[in-house]
Every structure is written in structure tokens, then in C-alpha cells.
Structure 1
Amino acid sequence: MPFLVPFLKMTCIHFILLLDKGSFPAAVVKCLPLLSLIWFVCLLGVSDPHIHRYNRRIVAALCWCCAGDLFLVWSEANEVYFLLGLASFSVGHFVYTLAFGWRPFGLKEFLFTFSVGIPGLAVLASCVTGVMRYLALGYGILILVMQWRALAR
């Protein structure tokens, strides 16, 4: 779709510019791809509460993930920003999961996602210690649930 061209351009700009992490320009450039996706979904429609419920949830999830990106830009300066970014992305992925819905169940998608994902999470857990291990596992499971629901949709 031609509406996705701005997203592709903004993504290229983000990777080409290599701005200093922790700067305001870096934060703006980091958010541009998500802002263009928000614009794209809004063009598809978000006003009708019955027809556009899915689109509104996707926009909400994109906004939470955009906030997560903003926090991660400054995460090297303060660990609190990393945790706020992780929390923002977690809320965003939870909202994506709500948008995708719970029907149909998608047994094949469930088995595929978790048979591949759980061993990957086990490897990740072995590389991380302390509280970060539990945060990584929780976030990883949230990502797996979101992937399963997206595939089953």
C-alpha cells in the first residue's frame, strides 16, 4: 500500500542517521516510524466505535510502544528509563493481544509459537541474572502470547 511508504522512509532515516543516543533529535527520529504507522491506521478509520475497535486498539498499542521507544533512547543514562520503556512496551503488547482477540483458539499456532519460543526463553533466562531474568521471562511470555494471537487471528 502506498500509505506505508512514509513508514519505510522513516525507518530508513532512523537507521541511516545514527544520532547520539540520549538526544532529543534521536528521540524524534526513533519515534517517526511508529508515528507514521499511527497515521496509517488512523487513515483506515478509528472513529466508529463498533467497526473500528480493532484499529483503535492498534493505535493505542502503537502509542504505548512509541512511549517505550522514547524511554529507551535515554535508558543508558538511567536504569529507571529502561524499566519504564519495558513497562510501556509490555502495555503496548498487551493491547495488541486484546486487539487480536481470543477466538479462534488456534491450537496449531499455539503449539508452534510456544514450542519454538519456550526454548528460546530458556536460553535467554540462562544469560540474565537477578530481577532482570524474571522481567525478561515475563516480557518474553507476553510476546509469545501476542504472536500466538496474531497468528491465530
Structure 2
Amino acid sequence: MSQLQVIKDVGPKLIPFFKTVAIYFVVFIPQASPGYIAAVLKCLPIICLMIFVVWHGQQMEERFKSFWKKILCGLFFSCIGDYCLIWPDYFILGMVAFAVGHVNYIMAFGFQPFNLPAGLCSYLVATIGCLYLLPGCTGIMLPGVPLYTLLLSTMMWRAIARFPLKKNLWSWTRLFTAAGAVLFVISDLLIGLGMFKKLAIPHAQAAIMGTYYLAQLGIALSVVDLNDNIKQE
């Protein structure tokens, strides 16, 4: 499947995702008040991505089903995390749900190709960020933040490692997946800066959710043209 064909095929199927993202920003962001309606609006875009992944996954060969099912599980646990983070009292539970989601993404991406330089860069960035945030952590966050950072940085590494520099293996979907993982790190860093460093970030909620939704979109796109990508590896 050519890159142009991939874009033409995927675009219409992502319309529900973009519509629900727009609804979230129009309805929730101006009020930013927690509640069940806000939770539903926040989760709808991820639910749309889950449907998108299932639709594409059903067309995959049997031997590739493990990949898209792990991506689906990652989105599912992320959705649980989104729901929990609406209420500050459930922040720890939400953090655990996202951690499980990252484990599923890591298992989906695998460790081939290994790409050690990408791993070293990912862990270096994560270590610097973690050391900066740790002084503001207390209680369960002291071990929790480093552990979560380890999973997040590993997920980023494995997503970036899937994007080859060789021309014959290059694809938009792999580029979007790598970019999505980086955006996930940025989104979580913005949360950490506000929560642990008490920094007043302009339009923080919009920035956090904007980068987050784009991140999940990039990761979900990893299931597109999966047959072609894996066969080339």
C-alpha cells in the first residue's frame, strides 16, 4: 500500500476522533470542572481510537493480531487513566492505569530493531526530567514517579526504534507513532511541572490534552499498513 493510499484510507475513519476532540475542547476546557460529563467527553476520543484500531486489526493476518490487540489494551487502560484523572483523589489509580497502558505499548512495539542510540537518548531525557521533578514528590510518588518515568521512556524508545532511516522501510505511520510517543512524554511532563513544581503554565489543560490526544493518535496509527511494515522487517 502506497503512502498516499494509506492517508486516503485512514483519513475518513479518523473523523469521529477529531470531532470528539473538538467537542472536548469546546465544552470542557472553558469550564475545566470535574464531573461525569467531563469524564465522558475526555474519554470519547480514546474510545474512537479504540474502534479505529479494532476496525484495522480485524483486517490483519492472524499472526499480526497480537500487535493490534496490545495497542487496543494500551488505549483501554489509558481510557481508564483519563477517567480517573478527572478527580484528583484518583490520581494514583490513574497513574497505575497509564503505566499498564505503557507496558502494553512496549510489548506491542517489541525490542527489534534494538536501536541502542535511541534508547540512550530516551533514558537520558527521562532521567533529567525525573531528577528535576523528584524534589517535589512525596509519599508514594517518590518511587512511583521514577517507575512511571522508566516505563514512559521505554515506550518512547521502542516507538522511535520502529522508525527506520532506510528509505525502503520508511512510512508515515511509523513517523506518526514515533512522534506520538514523544508527545506523550511532553504531555506527562507538563502534568508533572504543574503538580510537582507548581509552575503556572499558560493554557496548561489545553496544552496537556492537545499533546496527549495527538500522542494517542500517533500510537493508534501504528496498526495501519501493519502487514507491509512487519513483512519488511
The TM-score, its normalising length taken from structure 2, stands at 0.60
User: Is this contact kept in 2: 1:46–1:56, CA < 8 A?
Assistant: no
Determine the C-alpha separation between the residues in 2 that align with 1:108 and 1:2: 36
Determine the C-alpha separation between the residues in 2 that align with 1:45 and 1:129: 42
- Residue by residue over 1:20-71, the C-alpha shift from the partner in whole angstroms, topping out at 9 and shown as x without a partner, is 6432211110111100100111111247542222111111110111011111
Cross-structure match for 2:133? 124
Q: 2:19 aligns with which of 2, 5, 9?
A: 9
| Mapped pair 1:62 → 2:75 | yes
Using the TM superposition, give the Cα deviation of residue 93 of structure 1 relative to its aligned residue in structure 2, in angstroms: 0.8
Using the TM superposition, give the Cα deviation of residue 105 of structure 1 relative to its aligned residue in structure 2, in angstroms: 1.1
**Which runs of 5 or more residues in structure 2 are unaligned?**
1-10, 163-233
Determine the C-alpha separation between the residues in 2 that align with 1:145 and 1:46: 28
- Residue by residue over 1:63-114, the C-alpha shift from the partner in whole angstroms, topping out at 9 and shown as x without a partner, is 11101111112x23xx3x2221111111111111101111111112112211
Cross-structure match for 1:43? 55
Within 5 Å, which residues of 2 pair with 1:96-135? 96-135=105-144
Cross-structure match for 2:40? 28
Determine the C-alpha separation between the residues in 2 that align with 1:2 and 1:146: 28
| 2:113 match: secondary structure | coil
User: Is this contact kept in 2: 1:46–1:53, CA < 8 A?
Assistant: no
**Which runs of 5 or more residues in structure 1 are unaligned?**
none
Determine the C-alpha separation between the residues in 2 that align with 1:51 and 1:125: 40
User: Is this contact kept in 2: 1:64–1:89, CA < 8 A?
Assistant: yes
Corresponding pairs, count: 149
Cross-structure match for 2:93? 84
Determine the C-alpha separation between the residues in 1 that align with 2:95 and 2:48: 22
| Mapped pair 1:139 → 2:139 | no
Aligned-pair Cα RMSD in Å: 1.7
- Structure 1 runs of 4+ with >4 Å offset: none
The TM-score, its normalising length taken from structure 1, stands at 0.88
Determine the C-alpha separation between the residues in 2 that align with 1:64 and 1:30: 14
User: Is this contact kept in 2: 1:101–1:149, CA < 8 A?
Assistant: yes
Determine the C-alpha separation between the residues in 2 that align with 1:83 and 1:114: 23
The 1:122–1:46 alpha-carbon spacing in structure 2 relative to 1, beyond 3 Å, is farther
Amino acid across the alignment from 1:5: I
